Structure 1
């Protein structure tokens, strides 16, 4: 019986906790959502039809509370349930792991394809998804634009959907997307499952890069519908209070400063909401309602500068460029007299960001070079962050 999985749905919190405790005492594995491996779904009066239908699709045995309590006390199940479980166990066979190549292939920017950065990218995506869900549910609503953003985000982040530890989470999200509503059970299931994955993969360890990616996801979630309301502002402020260890790190530093100004007088104006939205969209580089693009985008926190000299000036390039490969754009800058470097140095005066975000950046909207440039800028160093378009116009 230790291998059997059980899920309880349609109960209030107290009832559900009691049933889960009973299930654990029997040696059952208690799950928060209906998955392909679930054996038993115990349903209460408020059970959602999507979960019940999914359990039936997977062949899971469905019990009501009285049947489960009787089973817990006596070990007896209805004959049909016993037969169903026996058929289920017989039909399920372990999946064989997919073979994969150990070769590391590099693209035109010398960035690895394949599995080289797979773990780091999944970690980034999971933390981002956590933040996105916090942002989307901050005002307890799932608006049409937020629904569309979440749906497209999942479709453009196959590394999340294909990850074995994420199957349960994606199942819950698909339930949410099916009816456009996130109910109390789904909300509880979702964040419980995300926390489980974070614990298993040790993504919950104190680490600023995970917190920054969660923040970026949170910013994406609250701005997906092209507006930010008061509930979302207070939710964002509470998140920063809880994760105070990163408030001096860009971009948390900018958001913290903005929120301080907004909340100082206790009144949140429409202009302040619009200004915060613009800042959020610049940081994430995402304007979903305008572009319909839910992919990871490069930050748009660029400096407004009229002249970009090159002769004996330090340049660094990051991201992917529409105008050519990294080597091509570096060679062009060198031909104009610029001194290029692979990393951001104290002598770097211009960091040029490619139009396309790099899949293997440390953060959702930026990498280490942008992070260092922003840090140097906040410390008073003369360094300008510009876009590929700005640079091309200058040459």
Structure 2
């Protein structure tokens, strides 16, 4: 019986790995192609991605994927056509997959997009604006990590309609937290460029908040009012205020700490715990106190 269970588990585990790999590949292809150009470094990252997934080579449709990538590397087909063919295979796999999980897949695609953008060690303006468009088109992910944090960061970068080198470095620093670059030279280049940048938790931009039966925790020093009055407003709207972060916490309200870059970073013990829970799959939303106060004012006024 144990052998049967192990075999069954292996089937489902292999399928899960395949689904995740397909979604991340789809995102990687989108990211590579976002600026409309495909260079040798990006194709090299694609090859290294394929090498890291060789255990799936006998599983449909990975054999076809590997054949397309090999053909591109031996110059049998153009690199642009390679990206298009691989993307078509990804879409075909999704259409044939009855157990396709849209939200999980879209989040994996997003991580793949960031991987593709970072594949050549540079981030240009078109990639950032195209990423913003993808984020806008997929706002159903707004309560999920890392979509909400990436969207907050991109909105902050584009707020003045100008992108400077420091903002590109901030984006690099954030992407590298969950992007596993296979090219050692590019990985080292990104690590050196972002060595002085630390990002720990991003507040959700334009948060959508439900109150009835939801649990709210507050951290930091509030600039607008105090915790007691905010907790009373939460109760008045049907929410449940708590003093600690748990897996059941729905929202963490982060007090303004005087840091002008609060849209980039929110620090503290509760924030760190919330971030770790989010990375485990719990949908805890981080909201800056100013945004939350605006929501309260609109509902109570």
Instruction: Say if 1:246 and 1:252, in contact at 8 Å, map to a contact too.
Output: yes
Distance, in Å, in 2 between the alignment partners of 1:283 and 1:104 is 30
Q: Does 1 or 2 have the higher relative contact order (CA < 8 Å, sep 6+)?
A: 2
Distance, in Å, in 2 between the alignment partners of 1:104 and 1:179 is 42
Q: How does 1:1-395 map to 2 (within 5 A)?
A: 102=4, 104=6, 114-179=10-75, 182-202=78-98, 207-284=102-179, 286=181, 288=183, 289-290=186-187, 345-346=247-248, 370-372=280-282, 375-376=283-284, 378=286
Instruction: Say if 2:123 and 2:168, in contact at 8 Å, map to a contact too.
Output: yes
Distance, in Å, in 1 between the alignment partners of 2:274 and 2:156 is 30
Instruction: Say if 2:247 and 2:277, in contact at 8 Å, map to a contact too.
Output: no
Name whichever of 209-218 and 256-265 sits farther off.
256-265
SS in 2 for 1:148: helix
TM-score, normalised by the number of residues in structure 2: 0.59
Distance, in Å, in 2 between the alignment partners of 1:242 and 1:144 is 29
Distance, in Å, in 2 between the alignment partners of 1:368 and 1:377 is 8
Instruction: Say if 2:114 and 2:179, in contact at 8 Å, map to a contact too.
Output: yes
Partner of 2:219: none
Q: Deviations over 1:111-164 (max 9, x none)?
A: x98334111111011000000111112223333332222111111112442212
What's the CA shift for 1:186? 3.4
Partner of 1:28: none
Distance, in Å, in 2 between the alignment partners of 1:240 and 1:216 is 12
Instruction: Say if 1:142 and 1:180, in contact at 8 Å, map to a contact too.
Output: no
Distance, in Å, in 2 between the alignment partners of 1:277 and 1:157 is 24
What are the ranges of 5 or more consecutive residues in structure 1 without an aligned counterpart? Answer: 1-100, 106-111, 293-299, 304-343, 354-365, 381-395
Distance, in Å, in 2 between the alignment partners of 1:245 and 1:278 is 25
Partner of 1:331: none
Q: Which has the larger radius of gyration?
A: 1
Distance, in Å, in 2 between the alignment partners of 1:148 and 1:367 is 34
What's the CA shift for 1:277? 1.0
Distance, in Å, in 2 between the alignment partners of 1:279 and 1:180 is 36
Q: How many residues align?
A: 214
Summarize the Cα distance change of 1:159–1:241 in structure 2 as closer, same or farther, 3 Å threshold: farther
Summarize the Cα distance change of 1:286–1:183 in structure 2 as closer, same or farther, 3 Å threshold: closer
What's the CA shift for 1:302? 5.5
TM-score, normalised by the number of residues in structure 1: 0.46
